[in-house]
Amino acid sequence: MDFEIGPGKNTFEIPEIDFRAELNDEQFAAVTAKPGPLLILAGAGSGKTRTLTYRVAYLLSQGVRAGEILLLTFTNKAAKEMLTRVEELTGVEGRSFWGGTFHSIGHRLLRMHGEAIGVPKNFTILDAGEAETVLKHAVESVESAFFKNKTHPKPGPLSSIISMARNTCESIERTVIDFFPQHHEFIERIEGFAEAYAKRKKEQNVVDYDDLLVFWLKLLDEAPEVAEYYQQRFRHCLVDEYQDTNVLQAAIIDKMAPHHRIMAVGDDAQCIYSWRGANFDNILTFPDRHPETEILRIETNYRSTPEILTMANAIISNRTTAGFDKVLRAHKPSSQRPYVVQAMDTREQAQFVITRIRGLIDEGHDPKEIAVLYRSHFVALDMQMELSRAGVPYQITSGVRFFEQAHIKDLVAHLRLVYNPADVSAFLRIFLLLPKVGEKTAQKLYDHTLAIAKKNEIDFIDALRHEATIKKAPAAARADWESVALSLRDMKQIADSGSPDEVVQVAIDGWYSSYLQGAYANYSNRLEDLNSLVGFAARFEEMQELIAQITLLNSETADRMEESNESIRLTTVHQAKGLEFNVVFVIGAADGFFPTRRSIDTGDTEEERRLFYVAVTRARDELYVLYPKMNTKGGPSMFLNPSRFLQEIPTDLFEPIRIRRNYGW
């Protein structure tokens, strides 16, 4: 086989490896493929990491030196795991390779050659918080009062917009339109802020995370001697999870390997991160950008049963956009079909899951090998509630528990203060969100408001809007203060005669919604969480019942988490990618939940389909897909249809279950 190598030999002995015996036919073909552009379509559970590891070992066995191989991954964990396996297999130390995340390799190159593009070697890297602070100061240098308006995006969302634009190589205008439409009116101003931010970073000799990639590409474009050296040095470029690359990363790979000796390993059916900037077209157009690409498929799945894979294949085969044909084939023996479970609502859905989980544990299943997956956090609200009530320990691997999320705690603080104006903690939680209000100031303002209420013999909530109270607030906070006070007054008026769910709705529609829009880049997701509280609150007749239940559930769940390490896993599907479990429950598989209402309304549900496919392929042995028949998230109850991804596949691919009142089946 014709491998072009540079002068010199490996200085180590590679042990004899029987590649034919240790790999299946598909893996062997990929590992021993001739040099050139290679696109390896590695299906879920097919041994992708094994294939990459043996490819490195094979290159070494053919005389390629470790220093001539560039290995790019998306996480430090993946890089470390791969290089450790290579070392165990070949005896070649991992540090002999240039292997790591895109950002770590970019950092290494800039330390060595950054001066060629005006980046001093002694630059420092800003963490996310520091980068937002620098951006904040840059914005204020352009428009000093920008952040005083509560409807304006704060540094966090601004940072997300600028970062997305850089990683997708798009304009600020295009980025805002596509990903942050709530900030459309600020497009021109954000463009100016981005320029001021870049200037300030340069003055301070600092770079942010994105700069490590942006400047790497700039180095390849503007320092031809450096580019040529590394293009010749790295004779083989291996890229893991290629479907997750963004435009910037794909451009870097193409520039680093004009010789086209790239092995891109990925799966277009698992491209689910467009909201992070991943570009689905990168993997689809790889053969166009690299002529004579050899496409190889690894389709033998070692994870799931044939029945689970048959459902997964059917789901992805109904896609309406371009993609590579691929059919997963099971290595495991046949077993039961997946179950599709119709529940009346999300509570009944949760109760079914708990009943089945208890049965699984009684049968000897390890709780850590049982997972409940969902599309969005709000879908899991009832699941968390019922697990807590039932005393079933669980861990959330995709963030904090529902009621511990900052935006939920903020809104609950509104409810607590309206119900109990003596709740100083609730007051502080709300008013510390205002500009120029720290803990000492907030405490003084509370004491002052209380004094005004007593002096004028009025309610504390009404005293918040008293002229004497407003005058005491910092000038920068007064507009927000009046808006908060108005929201709290409206909530109090409804609370006197209305139901808890009506009070929650007023809270969402008031000042906090405006604050949320400016404070968070994922504003729409957080708003979904808040809206789900409306349906939850409708179950209670009294506000104190609602507040007490939330507090008790949080406390009891935290105690149980400390008591038990044997917990089932709750996680979003996004966070579950790369994981696998013996038993998987996918909840909320209804149109409007999964796929989301937004994707349905825009007519773009294909990434949702790929996400559903990822969810199904997490299961090894048993799979339950559940959907509620009624939506009680907020407002009037509405009938739901099963997810279109279920409706599209033959009914003989799954076992339907309709829950009886005693939760049997």
DSSP line for 215-252 = HHHHHHHH-HHHHHHHHHH--EEEESSGGG--HHHHHH
| φ, ψ of residue 631 in degrees (nearest 5) | -100, 115
* Distant-in-sequence, close-in-space partners of 452: CB < 8 Å, separation ≥ 6: 458, 463, 466, 468, 469
Q: What is the pLDDT of residue 64?
A: 92
> Where does 307-393+564-658 sit in CATH, by number?
3.40.50.300
Contact 621, 305 (CB under 8 A): yes
- Supply 328's token pair: 């997963």
Closest by alpha carbon to 46, among 329, 312, 263? 329
Residue 532's pLDDT is 84
Report the top-level CATH class of 404-551.
Answer: mainly alpha
pLDDT at residue 636 in the model: 61
| Residue reference for tokens 């004009």 | 258
Q: Which residue from 661, 663, 659 is spatially nearest to 341, judged by alpha carbons?
A: 659
Residue 37's pLDDT is: 96
Q: What is the distance between the alpha carbons of residues 525 and 376, in angstroms, rounded to a whole number? A: 8
How is the chain split into domains, by residue range? Answer: 25-115+215-298, 125-204, 307-393+564-658, 404-551
Res 399: pLDDT = 66
C-alpha 434/C-alpha 148 separation (Å) is 9
User: Under a CB-based contact definition with an 8 Å cutoff, are residues 380 and 402 in contact?
Assistant: yes
Q: Which residues are annotated as a binding site?
A: 42-49
Q: If you ran DSSP here, which 8-state letter would residue 541 be given?
A: S
Pairwise CA distance, residues 574 & 46, whole Å = 19
pLDDT value of position 554: 64
Q: Which of the residues in the chain have pLDDT under 70?
A: 1-12, 398-400, 553-565, 633-636, 661-665
- How many other CB atoms are there within 10 angstroms of residue 349's CB atom? 27
Q: Which helix (H) or strand (E) holds 160?
A: helix 155-168
Q: Which CATH class is domain 25-115+215-298?
A: alpha beta
Say what the pLDDT of residue 6 is: 42
Largest Cα separation within the chain, whole Å, is: 93
In 3D space, the residue among 390, 391, 353, 388 whose CA is nearest the CA of residue 370 turns out to be: 353
The pLDDT value recorded for residue 12 is: 61
- Cα(56)–Cα(62) distance, integer angstroms: 10
404-551 and 25-115+215-298 share a CATH fold: no
* 148 contact partners, CB below 8 Å, separation of at least 6: 435, 476, 479
**CA atoms within 13 A of residue 467's CA, in its CB half-sphere:** 0
Q: Do residues 256 and 288 make contact, with C-beta atoms less than 8 angstroms apart?
A: no
Helix (H, G, I), strand (E, B) or coil at 325: coil
pTM for this prediction = 0.85
Q: How far is CA 551 from the centre of its chain?
A: 27
Going by DSSP bridges, is the β-strand pair 638-639/630-631 parallel, antiparallel, or unpaired? antiparallel
* Catalytic annotation, residues: 48-49, 240-241, 270, 618
Angle, in degrees to the nearest 10, between helices 155-168 and 128-142: 100
Residue 61 tokens read as 């066995």
Residue ranges of the binding site for ATP: 42-49
What letter does residue 70 receive in the DSSP assignment? E
Q: Give residue 83's Cα distance to chain centre.
A: 26
Q: Cα 135 to the chain's mean position, in Å?
A: 23
Alpha carbons within 13 angstroms on the beta-carbon side of residue 633 total 22
